[in-house]
Amino acid sequence: MAKQLSDKELVSEVAAGSQTSFEELVARYSPRLFHFLRHKVSTDEDIEDLIQETFLKAFRNIGRYNPDFKFSTWLYTIAVRLAISSYRSNKTKDMTFVPVSSSPEPPEIVIQKEESQNIWILARALKKDQYEALWLRYAEDLSVKEIAKVMKKTQVYVRVLLHRARLNLAKEFSQSVFSEKSPGTEPLKHKFSFL
């Protein structure tokens, strides 16, 4: 099995003209961008359009990518700017919730996926910047410094934002758990690394 290239190696090959490397970056980041943009854009078609625009802009400006930073930081910065432009031109926003689907996987994996998806559904009730910071930190594993760059905020602001987002998400989660529990039963115990 061939060794999987890093983002930086792929970007270097794209800059040298490799279409295959660019297709690998698109395959690697399209699903992640789709989930990230779901909170910002009203329809799946609009999200797909934004993803295409993001990759087109990244491809055209690949020479401007600074390898001192993660490729994902640069790509998310492009996506955020395009989403803001799209939002300003449309002036509408409609949150779409993704239903949890069943699958033939082992029950533990299904439960884990459902819990993870449900926590992100709860997170959509947060303020837009809190959701964005949480997503970049925990779904994309960006550092506070990288999040600050994507969001064009200070690192201190991002830390405060993450703290408030965690507190607010914990409240949302508690309300959700207490509203689901039956009389005389204990609330469900869930383990999420960021609560």
**What CATH number did the domain enclosing 164 receive?**
1.10.10.10
Residues 194, 110, single domain; the answer is yes
Q: Enter the tokens of residue 20.
A: 């295959």
The residue segments making up the domain with residue 24 are: 1-96
Q: What is the CATH number of the domain that holds 63?
A: 1.10.1740.10
Give the predicted TM-score (pTM) of the model.
Answer: 0.54
Higher pLDDT, 60 or 186: 60
Residues 131, 76, single domain; the answer is no
* CA neighbours closer than 13 Å in the CB half-sphere of residue 98: 21
Single-letter residue type at 118: N
pLDDT at position 2 is 53
Residues 110, 194, single domain; the answer is yes
Q: How confident is the model at residue 118 (pLDDT cuts 50, 70, 90)?
A: low
Burial class, 132, CB count within 10 angstroms (exposed 0-12 / middle 13-18 / buried 19+)? buried
C-alpha to C-alpha distances, 104 to 98, 100, 111, 114, 117, nearest whole angstrom: 19, 13, 12, 13, 17
Q: Enter the tokens of residue 185.
A: 């039963």
| Count of C-beta atoms within a 10 Å radius of residue 45 | 9
Residues 142, 89, single domain; the answer is no
Q: How confident is the model at residue 105 (pLDDT cuts 50, 70, 90)?
A: very low
pLDDT in tens, 24-71: 999 999 998 888 887 777 788 888 988 999 999 999 999 888 888 889
Residues 128, 157, single domain; the answer is yes
Q: Is the pLDDT of residue 92 over 70?
A: no
Number of domains making up the chain: 2
Single-letter residue type at 23: E
What is the rounded distance in angstroms from the CA atom of residue 114 to the CA atom of residue 104?
A: 13
Q: How confident is the model at residue 108 (pLDDT cuts 50, 70, 90)?
A: low
Q: 128 CB contacts (<8 Å, ≥6 apart)?
A: 39, 40
pLDDT at position 93 is 42
